[in-house]
């Protein structure tokens, strides 16, 4: 693999030129607080939205959210332009790109929380925190539903689908040269599956590997590349132990299946990630719930075949025309192995993909000779989910927020116009507060 280098000034200028648009609204200056130095989905969102809003004439102060990302981009691979936005501005609004309880709301200006959730109900504490925001912005209709069902006022939530850099993520890029672990190269295999995930229970990576064992044999001309990010050595150790236990239970080892390439905490800066996607023919998820799943949209922009469960965010932008959809069943959300996440999912449900159906689809994909959905997926992203469209949507929402009546944050919570409606654990619906 070539040594990673920072983009030169010409490529940076090209990236800036892709952001065409004007701001004719009331928002002139914005403070953005969110992670931007790491490799998580939120980091990507912050970098993309800041670049887009700045190109539209909004003055930006960017404040990092330290400790968010389990792994940071090395200093040499970061774009110093983002650090140059640290100078204070007199903001018209503050955009908090984080979970609701993490926002540091400012007095005297509009507060907007850009966030999301991946299960059937949002934590009650989040709704209470969001009542202090002028608007909540989420990327999918599934997140709109869980906030409203949890008692948040529908009038104060906006749906703003995110975007993909369709010039960076596109068909025809040179793929990365990756070892398949068996003396060959990933690119030598006719069918190449990719998954990019954090190692969390929600991503269901054990199920993904188990399905691969069910669906493939060693002689298949296929490979699975798993790019995993994990900030906990204990979680990674447990994952590897679980895979060994799975092999014993199934009576089949990873060596008996088509090869699996584990890229664990491997650093790929923004300008190298498109070549990772170019190394694949298919992108496959068995996640139990998604607030957006940026890698799935990046794979779509690259023109890959898509395989995904039929739930949550996926149903906002995928259908049988652009993807193979795996049926699911609703189950209790169980994130106990990651104590930092369990509290958020307590009392919620998420969706368990049908592994037998998934294995059948993988087997069929391995045996197919033609690709038929990649072009449709690319066309979908170009039509609805570009970075430019996402920036325009967010700017419209922020300007709209400037025209809304100000919240009266000085009154008691109980007497607010927008107060929390108690959540019924039995029905999953919000009850009206007693008058």
Dig out the tokens for 79 from the structure: 């774009």
287 with 322, same domain: the answer is: yes
Q: How confident is the model over 109-123, as pLDDT tens digits?
A: 999 999 999 999 999
DSSP string, 36-90: -SBSSHHHHHHHHHHHHHHHTT-EEEEE--TT--SSBPPGGGS-HHHHGGGS---
User: Residue 296 falls within a domain, yes or no?
Assistant: yes
Q: Alpha carbon 233 to chain centroid distance? A: 23
β partners of residue 135: 112
215 with 361, same domain: the answer is: yes
| pLDDT given for residue 337 in this prediction | 81
**Which of 385, 407, 425 corresponds to the end of one domain?**
385
Q: How confident is the model over 318-353, as pLDDT tens digits?
A: 999 999 999 999 999 998 887 778 889 999 999 999
Alpha-carbon gap, residue 350 to 328, rounded angstroms = 10
Q: 134 near 152, Cβ under 8 Å?
A: no
User: Residue 399 falls within a domain, yes or no?
Assistant: yes
Give me the CATH number covering residue 228. 3.40.50.2000
381 with 393, same domain: the answer is: no
Q: 176 near 273, Cβ under 8 Å?
A: no
98 with 114, same domain: the answer is: yes
Domain residues for the domain of 335 are 186-385
Alpha-carbon gap, residue 65 to 35, rounded angstroms = 5
User: Residue 434 falls within a domain, yes or no?
Assistant: no
| pLDDT given for residue 230 in this prediction | 87
| pLDDT given for residue 406 in this prediction | 82
User: Residue 86 falls within a domain, yes or no?
Assistant: yes
Task: Give 28's contacts (C-beta < 8 A, 6+ positions apart).
Answer: 57, 58, 59, 92
Place of tokens 């908090």: 96
User: Residue 14 falls within a domain, yes or no?
Assistant: no
| pLDDT given for residue 424 in this prediction | 32
Q: 195 near 226, Cβ under 8 Å?
A: yes
145 with 197, same domain: the answer is: no
> First-to-last CA distance in the chain?
66
309 with 381, same domain: the answer is: yes
316 with 361, same domain: the answer is: yes
H/E run at residue 226: strand 222-229
Say how many domains are in the chain: 2
Alpha-carbon gap, residue 300 to 417, rounded angstroms = 43
User: Residue 169 falls within a domain, yes or no?
Assistant: no
Exposed, middle or buried: residue 95 (CB in 10 Å: 0-12, 13-18, 19+)?
Answer: buried
Residues of the chain with pLDDT under 70: 1-24, 370-373, 408-435
Task: Name which of 336, 370, 330 is nearest 235 in CA terms.
Answer: 336
Task: Name which of 136, 151, 415, 168 is nearest 302 in CA terms.
Answer: 168
| pLDDT given for residue 428 in this prediction | 34
Dig out the tokens for 244 from the structure: 């060994």
**DSSP 8-state secondary structure symbol assigned to residue 406:** P
Dig out the tokens for 365 from the structure: 């994909």
Dig out the tokens for 10 from the structure: 């010409």
User: Residue 9 falls within a domain, yes or no?
Assistant: no
116 with 72, same domain: the answer is: yes
> Apex CA 119: angle with CA 137 and CA 53, to 5°?
20
| pLDDT given for residue 2 in this prediction | 32
**The pTM is what?**
0.87
317 with 222, same domain: the answer is: yes
282 with 214, same domain: the answer is: yes
| pLDDT given for residue 409 in this prediction | 56
112 with 94, same domain: the answer is: yes
| pLDDT given for residue 41 in this prediction | 85
Q: Alpha carbon 260 to chain centroid distance? A: 23
| pLDDT given for residue 153 in this prediction | 97
User: Residue 20 falls within a domain, yes or no?
Assistant: no
38 with 144, same domain: the answer is: yes
């Amino acid at each position: 693999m070539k040594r990673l280098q920072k983009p030169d000034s010409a490529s940076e200028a090209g990236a800036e030129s892709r952001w065409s648009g004007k701001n004719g609204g009331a928002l002139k200056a914005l403070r953005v607080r969110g992670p931007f130095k790491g490799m998580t989905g939120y980091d990507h969102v912050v970098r993309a939205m800041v670049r887009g809003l700045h190109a539209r004439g909004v003055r930006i102060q960017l404040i990092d959210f330290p400790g968010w990302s389990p792994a940071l981009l090395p200093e040499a691979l970061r774009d110093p332009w983002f650090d140059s936005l640290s100078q204070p501005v007199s903001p018209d609004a503050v955009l908090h790109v984080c979970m609701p309880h993490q926002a540091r709301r400012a007095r005297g200006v509009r507060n907007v929380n850009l966030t999301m959730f991946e299960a059937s109900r949002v934590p009650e504490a989040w709704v209470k925190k969001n009542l202090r925001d002028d608007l909540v912005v989420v990327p999918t209709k599934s997140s709109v539903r869980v906030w409203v069902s949890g008692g948040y006022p529908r009038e104060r939530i906006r749906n703003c689908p995110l975007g993909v850099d369709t010039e960076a993520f596109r068909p025809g890029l040179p793929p990365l040269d990756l070892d398949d672990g068996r003396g060959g190269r990933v690119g030598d295999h006719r069918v190449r599956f990719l998954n990019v995930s954090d190692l969390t229970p929600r991503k269901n990576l054990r199920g993904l590997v188990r399905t691969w064992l069910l669906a493939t044999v060693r002689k298949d001309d296929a490979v699975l590349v798993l790019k995993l990010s994990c900030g906990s050595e204990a979680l990674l150790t447990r994952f590897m132990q679980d895979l060994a236990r799975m092999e014993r239970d199934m009576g089949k080892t990873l060596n008996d299946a088509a090869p699996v390439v584990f890229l664990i905490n491997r650093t790929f800066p923004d300008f190298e990630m498109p070549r990772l996607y170019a190394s694949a023919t298919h992108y496959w998820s068995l996640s139990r719930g998604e607030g957006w799943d940026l890698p799935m949209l990046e794979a779509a922009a690259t023109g890959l075949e898509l395989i995904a469960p039929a739930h949550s965010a996926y149903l906002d932008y995928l259908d049988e025309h652009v993807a193979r959809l795996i049926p699911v069943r609703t189950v209790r959300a169980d994130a106990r192995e990651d104590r930092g996440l369990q509290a958020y999912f307590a009392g919620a449900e998420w969706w368990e993909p049908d592994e037998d159906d998934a294995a059948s689809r993988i087997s069929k994909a391995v045996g197919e000779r033609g690709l038929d959905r990649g072009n449709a997926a690319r066309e979908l992203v170009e039509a609805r989910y570009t970075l430019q469209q996402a920036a325009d949507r967010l700017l419209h929402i922020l300007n709209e927020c400037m025209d809304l009546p100000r919240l009266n944050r000085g009154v008691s919570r109980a007497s607010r116009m927008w107060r929390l409606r108690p959540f019924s654990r039995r029905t999953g619906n919000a009850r009206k507060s007693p008058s």
